[in-house]
Amino acid sequence: MPHASILYVTLGCAKNEVDTDRMRSLLNGAGYNEVFEADQADAVIINTCSFLASATSESIETTLALAEEVAEGVRDTRIVMCGCVPSRYGADLPEELPEVAAFVRADEEDGIVSVMDGVLGVERDVLPHVPRIKRTVESAVAYVKISDGCDRFCSFCAIPYIRGRYHSRSAEDIIAEVRELVAGGVREIVLIGQDTGIWGTDFTEGVEGPANLAQLMVAVSEAVRPANVWIRVLYLQPEGMTDELIAAIRDTPEVLPYIDIPVQHCNARILKAMHRSGSEEELTRLFAKLRAEIPGMVIRTTSLVGFPSETDDEAKQMLAFMDREGFDYTSVFPYSPEEGTRAAAMDGQVDEDVKLERTQAAMDLAESLGFAATAAHVGEVAEVIVDGVEETDEGLELIGHAWFQAPDSDGAVHLDATDAAVGDILQVRFTDSFCYELIGEVVEE
């Protein structure tokens, strides 16, 4: 059994965190150790992001910085690049990045033990058994991928070219993973995928068990009972919001009334150019229906600014739509012409200065709405999951998140208390807010 040490570096979204965790679990099972500093590592695994050109650049820069750090050390540390950058640019990388010992596409990561054995010269008679389900989550929250890939081919997005066509994980595997995570102390399950709302649509007839996302959410909820576990679902496209799904969110106690719907824009012409459907009128009806059917619902969305040919009036239309809808959280992204996408070759590319001006206006509005939505919770009492402890100038404080805050995205709750452990769920009264953050005090039961 090897005793080599590996440092894991993850860039990008929560889906990459899940992939890194899977590789870590496989390598731990094969006898490798985890370390947290490059100068202690025999190898570094960098799980990369290539969703945007800026993310690709960050992945390359991180790799080169690690290579420089490694070159200055005394260990012969090897670097292995995994994930989206190898999936997107695999054929060109060996020549461009000779500092990297191996490249592993996202769809090859279950073979990471063989890769690392080869890189580090580990010989073994038989490869260890690859478990169907294995995670090493130590936090109170765990992301669970229910699908991978995407069939939408939005004209601005490279994900289908990186992750391939859409494919759903089986309900059996998802539920088994959820049970394992909850047994290990996880208190919130976040269901993720490129397009969660269409989960199950690629199954052939005759598959037993849940057949769509609504049924899957109910089955996952039943699997975690009687534990007090939250279930959150992210990345729902507007077309995926069926009556059955709305009812499942409303009527299933474990499922949080928190909906993440990336609209990107509200103008029908721009949406069509994005190869998306809908219009401002259709989106307005959808959000009105959601608010009527699910009282107290929290909505997160995204706005893509400066898409090719977007006019000033169309940009202002999106701002007015955001303002009228009063979204709790909005992520704003300036359009980036991604290599290989149809939008990159479109006429009417928006001037960078204009794009940045529109982006700033959208971000200012999103913050104004988000800060107000956060402040509106002051005075309420709600459950908060403890995520960790931080040291401040005034001493230690607990950091957690409430049901209306998606972990790692929407801010946190700060508590002047230390007598709780990660994963505890506390009753908290919110006493103040700043930006997207809340200050609270524990309510004695």
Q: b/e map of 373-410 (b: 16 or more CB within 10 Å)?
A: bbbebeeeebebbbbeeeeeeeeebbbbbbbbbbbeeb
Tell me 272's DSSP state. H
CB of 415 closer than 8 Å to CB of 384: yes
CB of 412 closer than 8 Å to CB of 387: yes
CB of 168 closer than 8 Å to CB of 199: yes
d(CA 233, CA 419): 30
CA separation (Å) from 382 to 2, 187, 379, 424, 441?
Answer: 47, 15, 10, 13, 11
Any known ligand binding at 266? no
What stretches of 261-328 adopt beta strand conformation (E)? 298-305
Any known ligand binding at 84? yes
3-state secondary structure of 280: helix
> Strand 102-105 relative to strand 78-83: parallel, antiparallel, unpaired?
parallel
Residue 72 burial (C-beta neighbours within 10 Å; 0-12, 13-18, 19+)? exposed
Q: Residue ranges of the alpha helices (H) in 164-234?
A: 171-183, 213-224
Any known ligand binding at 157? yes
Any known ligand binding at 435? no
Which residues carry a binding-site annotation for [4Fe-4S] cluster? 13, 49, 84, 150, 154, 157
Which residues carry a binding-site annotation? 13, 49, 84, 150, 154, 157
